[in-house]
Amino acid sequence: MENTFEMVAKTFQGLEDVLAEELRQLGAENIEAGRRMVSFRGDKELLYRANLSCRTALRILKPFYTFKAANPDQLYEQVKEYDWGSMLTLDKTFSIDTVANSDEFTHSRYATYRVKDAIVDWFKDRYGEDKRPGVRLVDADMMVNVHINGTTVTLSLDSSGESLHKRGYRVAQTEAPINEVLAAGIILRSGWRGETPLVDPMCGSGTFLIEAALIAANITPGIYRRGFAFERWKDFDADLFDRLYNDDSGEREVAHKIYGADISPKAIKIAEENIKSAGVAKYIKLECKPLSAWTEAPKPDGVLVTNPPYGERISAPDMDALYQLIGSQLKHVFVGYHAWIIGYRDEHFQRIGLAPSTKVPMYNGALECSLREYVIFAGDRKSYVRGGGKIGRGEARKERSPRDKKERRDVRAGKPTRRRAEEAPTFEPDSENPLAKRRNPAALKMLVGKQPSLKPMEGPMMRSRGWKKKS
């Protein structure tokens, strides 16, 4: 790959490894996953492909200038030293977005002003006081991303423009719809690629359904957008982009239907409009019915994904009863399925009454949520595994509970850990001693007739109040 350069793809926490795999499949090199981002190298074609094809990327940045600055004045001087004429002309517009994680730069807006002043003054010094490119907050010709970490400043070109989660197919929405990038990431993490049915029994505006259809048919999500920021760059290659945009050679037929339902007729109407806008209606079966009305799951056994109410922006009359119903329907209707549920409150998850095989911390907007997988099988866990069943279908990091962390510390310190229930010793149930079930009979028998083996005390001895010399 010739003429390569560094790029950074932004994403949500919990989807970094999913995005890294997407970039790997596109041919990216030097891939490194970080916190809410993945860095990689590639050429101009890969930059275009990443914007068009990455389902879990929020935006693709192209870093072009890194330097040190300990205060706003140094920031101004360093920015002004760059040759801005190489990427911007007087008749163009620009915008600046700043993210600062620094003790030296505590106000990102002030840093934005200083960067803007430096760019404007660069042109004024060369072309006159009234000669400068304009500043435009929306749809600017050049969008500069400023990232400040301590005293390290990185300037990048934002190649995407509007966030990539704004696919372009959504024409209407219910209250608090799930983000398209988050929905696609959950489906990709589940391992589902269209080889079985997929169900969302509380589908809302249909985001899971549409993203699933795009994945199953291998339709690039970027084809619905009205444009990308890189189309306004000086070095934009229109022929290359047209070739990539119109390439549908990777699309495929969908073998199994995608099923969606919701209790709200209004939500179903909105979902129908969005599905029609995306052009994937032939892949999706949609109906208005409550979760309690599901009596049979589509065959063969597939994947269930859903984003139930959290009790925040959207609620139900009885949240505990809702999550109990989810658990009941999973156990009695969706046997054989892998269920992936994103939620906010632990107490709601507990009402499901099932042990998750996977937990992934994940943000949904400003809420720190958890994505949990439930493998629904008939019989007991050991029989299921012996029969070839797999627990933990997705490649996910497991959440650790505080107790798990304490047990790991105890192991490192040489302390015994609490046994699991199946490893606990069995005791005689018919013993006359009512505490026998909590004791080891063999150990008790060894103590019969025994006397304390401690040596007599010499010198002072301890009692409940103060010290007393032995007489």
Which tens digit of pLDDT belongs to each residue from 386-401?
A: 556 666 544 443 443 3
pLDDT value at residue 138: 86
| pLDDT tens, residue by residue, 232-272 | 999 999 999 999 999 999 999 999 999 999 999 999 999 99
pLDDT of residue 300: 95
**140 and 207 co-located in one domain:** no
Q: What is the model's pLDDT at position 420?
A: 34
DSSP string for 412-426: HTTPPPPPPGGGSPP
Degrees, nearest 5: CA angle 274-161-231: 105
Other Cβ atoms less than 10 A from the Cβ of 385: the count is 12
Task: Report the distance separating Cα 321 and Cα 328, nearest Å.
Answer: 10
Q: Give the mean pLDDT of the chain.
A: 85
Model confidence pLDDT, tens digit, residues 169-183: 999 888 778 999 999
Q: What are 293's two structure tokens?
A: 């009305």
Residue 153 pLDDT > 90: yes
- Structural tokens at position 175: 């209250």
| Pairwise CA distance, residues 237 & 187, whole Å | 33
Going along 69-125, which residue ranges are E strands? 93-101
Structure confidence at residue 389 (pLDDT):
64
Query: Domain check: are 100 and 199 in the same one?
Result: no
Instruction: Report if residue 87 sits inside a domain.
Output: yes
> Position of tokens 């400003």?
366
Amino acid making up residue 269: K
Q: 366 and 222: one domain? A: yes
140 and 275 housed in the same domain: no
Whether the predicted pLDDT of 129 surpasses 60 = yes
- DSSP secondary structure string for all residues of 199-248: EETT-TTSHHHHHHHHHHHT--GGGG-S--GGGGSTT--HHHHHHHHT--
Domain boundary among 111, 129, 159: 159
Tell me the CA distances in angstroms from 219 to 214, 215, 254, 322, one per residue in order: 5, 6, 11, 34
User: Side chain identity at 35, as an amino acid letter?
Assistant: R
Is the pLDDT at 122 greater than 60? The verdict is yes
Same structural domain for residues 145 and 258?
A: no
Detail the DSSP E strand segments found in 29-188: 29-33, 37-42, 59-68, 93-101, 134-135, 142-149, 152-158
Residue 443 domain flag: no
Residue 293 is given by DSSP the state G
Least confident piece of the model among 290-294, 384-388, 416-420, 439-443? 416-420
Which residues span the domain enclosing 373?
Answer: 180-226+249-399
Mean pLDDT to the nearest integer, 118-123? 96
Residue 221 tokens, joined: 């999500």
Q: Give pLDDT tens digits for 1-11.
A: 569 999 999 99
The predicted pLDDT at position 455 comes to: 52
pLDDT cut 90: percent of the chain above it: 73
The answer to whether position 271 is within a domain reads yes
Same domain, 114 and 192: no
**What does DSSP assign to residue 438?**
G
Degrees to nearest 5, angle at CA 63 with 59 and 66: 140
- Are 144 and 190 found together in one domain? no
Share above pLDDT 70 across residues of the chain, in percent, rounded to a whole number? 78
What is the CATH number for 71? Answer: 3.30.2130.30
Domain co-membership, 90 together with 129: yes
CATH assignment of the domain containing 363 = 3.40.50.150
pLDDT for the residue numbered 316: 65
pLDDT tens-place string over residues 38-85: 999 999 999 999 999 999 999 999 999 999 999 999 999 999 999 999
83-110: per-residue pLDDT in tens? Answer: 999 999 999 999 999 999 999 998 999 9
The highest-confidence range among 357-366, 379-388, 428-437, by mean pLDDT, is 357-366
Q: Is the pLDDT assigned to residue 185 strictly greater than 50?
A: yes
Which tokens hold the place of 39?
A: 């860095």
Same domain, 144 and 263: no
Contact indicator for 389, 335 with CB cutoff of 8 Å: no
Out of 368, 399, 430, a domain closes at 399
Q: Which helix (H) or strand (E) holds 368?
A: strand 367-375
CA distance 22 to 238: 24
The confidence band for 326, taking pLDDT boundaries of 50, 70 and 90, is: very high
Confirm if 216 and 422 have CB atoms less than 8 A apart.
no
Close Cβ partners of 56 (under 8 Å, ≥ 6 residues apart): 11, 12, 15, 18, 19, 22, 181, 184, 185, 188
How far, in Å, CA of 87 to CA of 11, rounded? 26
* Pair 101, 219 in one domain: no
What pLDDT score does 365 carry? 84
Contacts of 44 (CB under 8 A, 6+ apart): 3, 235, 237, 240
In a domain, 83, yes or no: yes
Neighbours of 441 (CB within 10 A): 13
- What order do you get walking across the sheet with 358-364 strand by strand? 284-288, 258-262, 198-200, 303-306, 338-343, 367-375, 358-364
* Half-sphere exposure at residue 354, Cβ-oriented, CA atoms within 13 angstroms: 29
Give the residue-averaged pLDDT of 182-188: 98
Domain assignment present for 422: no
Residue 53 lies in a domain: no
Cis peptide bond prior to 221, omega within 30° of 0:
no
Give pLDDT, residue 99. Answer: 93
Distance CA 254, CA 213 (A): 8
Total structural domains within the chain = 2
Residue 285, SS3 per DSSP: strand
Residue pair 367/344 in contact (Cβ under 8 Å)? The answer is: yes
Residue 84 forms part of a structural domain: yes
Based on the domain organization, do 105 and 196 belong to the same domain?
no
Q: Is the pLDDT of residue 414 over 90?
A: no
Q: Which of 370, 399, 428 is the last residue of a domain?
A: 399
Q: Is residue 244 part of a domain?
A: no
Task: Judge if 268 and 328 occupy the same domain.
Answer: yes
